[in-house]
A = this chain, B = another copy of it.
């Protein structure tokens, strides 16, 4: 029974990769760099985007993934960016992650010809989003210091598949028992040498560095059509 289950999972991941490649071709054709933005619930993804996308030197669109609701999309729309909401409970069975097919279903609503960078804010979850590529150039994850030092060891695939790890809420460090050196040691154990940034959406520390990083992903794409 377990073997059958694993086989189904492998087939599903193969199909996902095929669709992700089709997404990638569409993004390439329009010269759009794509970031898959992931974290646990409440790690601060939306607030970081609010801060980093304000004043960014690129034409940015956002695809907002949530099980239900449009609260985050509404917050980001206030930045006057094109934002498309994708709810995983509407026709997708309440999925805990975005997959390539869900992103594909949203592509017709995305103004790809008018943007240089697409940020896909995934569902808050440290497990399944890491297993499904959606056609992105790069993966960024947020790990808040309030979540503890052990998270790289408990969710290694997520930390291993990212190009950038944002260590968020560092304004709270002095009020926590969080050991930053221990976290970095664990991070290095699961993903040696991965780029990371200390950041705080609240104090603004590190926001500029993240904004610069996003601008480099936008430029990574071929010239816009």
Total A residues in contact with B, Cβ cutoff 8 Å: 42
State the oligomeric state as a number of copies. 2
Q: A185 at the A/B interface (Cβ < 8 Å)?
A: no
Report the minimal beta-carbon distance from A194 to chain B, rounded to whole angstroms.
18
Cβ contact within 8 Å between A127 and B94: yes
Cβ contact within 8 Å between B124 and A124: no
Question: Who on chain B is nearest to A172 by CB?
Answer: B175
Chain B contacts of A123 at CB under 8 A? 127
B-contacting 9-mer, from A20-28, A109-117, A146-154, A204-212:
A146-154
Q: A123-B127, A155-B41, A202-B177 are in contact. Are A5 and B68 (CB under 8 A)?
A: no
Q: A42 at the A/B interface (Cβ < 8 Å)?
A: yes
Q: A40 at the A/B interface (Cβ < 8 Å)?
A: yes
Picked from B68, B92, B144, B154, the residue with its CB within 8 Å of the CB of A146 is B144
Assembly CA distance A145 to B94 (angstroms)? 24
Interface membership of chain A positions 42-76, coded 1 if the CB is closer than 8 angstroms to chain B and 0 otherwise: 10000000000000000000000011110100000
Picked from B9, B67, B69, B155, the residue with its CB within 8 Å of the CB of A67 is B155
Report the minimal beta-carbon distance from A95 to chain B, rounded to whole angstroms.
8
Can you add 10 more A-B contacts, CB < 8 Å, to A40-B124, A68-B153, A95-B127? A2-B92, A6-B93, A9-B93, A42-B147, A68-B155, A94-B127, A94-B157, A96-B127, A125-B125, A172-B172
A contact set with B: CB distance below 8 Å:
2, 5-6, 9, 40-42, 66-69, 71, 91-96, 123-128, 131, 144, 146-148, 150-151, 153-157, 169, 172, 175-177, 202
